[in-house]
Amino acid sequence: MVCLGTLESLVFICLLFWTEASGNNQGKKLRTRTEFRTGDVTVKVKEGDDAILPCSLSTRENIVQKLFHWRKDGQKEVFLYDAGVHYNNGRTGQDEQFRGRVSHFPDQLQFGNASIVIRNTKVTDSGNYTCDFPHLETRRLIFHISLICSSCHLLTSVFTGAAPAPWTKILKVTEDGVVLQCEVRGASPKPDVKWQDSDGNVLRAEEPQVSERGGLYYVSLLTTVTKTSTNLFHCVSTQKDIGHRTEEEIYVPGKKMGFKLRVMHLSVVGFVFERLWESCHEAPMFIGGVFTGIVIVAAVQAVLVAAKCITIRRDEGEFK
């Protein structure tokens, strides 16, 4: 009887250990099969509004004692939560751009929700964000969220911070060519402005003049052009950050020859008048000098007109 009782006890103990081991293994199998939801999300907001960037575990696992980490473009520290310690309650390291503007949802942590809100968004907040769970037992989990924040000052395209069409004009005519001015007004982010010819070749230009008012950029760019086969020129404004491009075309009227010949013509006429003035100082030769000067000027002008080098009329802003 003693041996039988001892045997029954041993069997009972073995069954107990086997049951516990099976339970532990089953639990491990359940954790191994757990799948977490990932995916790319795009969030669009207007500048000044609040943006909620979503990030939550499909298992609704309690993450109050977990670690999750938000970054922008893989570098900037947006928000870090580590078992109750985060950037808003003493933790250091947050990027200056987001300081005081980012918070999480404490009452949602128990449901696996690691979403954050960025308050008073700026155009510079646009970019790619990642929500990273680096210490999950099964595997590391990263969510990808794209934020597009557009300015509400302008309503010129899908991105309301996009630059309007450039404003172009003929500024003046010099001996070197016709000076063209291009202005891009009220754009954000700052546009890259270039002058191009009709073939798309970038023209040499002066250093752009850039000013900023109210978070918007104003750019002025000058270039000096000479006669081409089309006399068409383009001012192109590009904002790579938001994938926006706009341009304006300007036509400069012209003749077959460049306007430099007009300058030459004026120089010849000036030389003749100078000689005429010298001859006028001699009273006996005054009448003869005047007559001779008129004849010379008329002859020079007639030759140039006949050769189609010049025209009599001179309009500001035209190639002559």
Q: What is the pLDDT of residue 19?
A: 42
Whether 63 and 131 have beta carbons less than 8 Å apart is answered as no
Q: What is the pLDDT of residue 138?
A: 58
Burial class (CB within 10 angstroms; exposed 0-12, middle 13-18, buried 19+) of 96: exposed
pLDDT, tens digit, 9 for 90 and up, residues 202-229: 999 999 999 988 778 999 999 999 999 9
Other Cβ atoms closer than 10 A to 86: 19
Q: What is the pLDDT of residue 10?
A: 45
| Fold topology of 167-251 | Immunoglobulin-like (2.60.40)
CATH dotted code for 40-150:
2.60.40.10
Q: CA 312 → CA 170, 198, 258, 262, 288, distances in Å?
A: 21, 29, 15, 10, 26
- C-alpha 127/C-alpha 129 separation (Å) is 7
pLDDT, tens digit, 9 for 90 and up, residues 74-101: 889 999 999 989 988 888 889 999 989 9
pLDDT reading at 289 higher than 50: yes
Residue bearing tokens 């006890």 = 9
pLDDT reading at 4 higher than 90: no
Question: If you average pLDDT over every residue of the chain, what do you get?
Answer: 73
Residue 239 binned pLDDT confidence (cut-offs 50, 70, 90):
confident
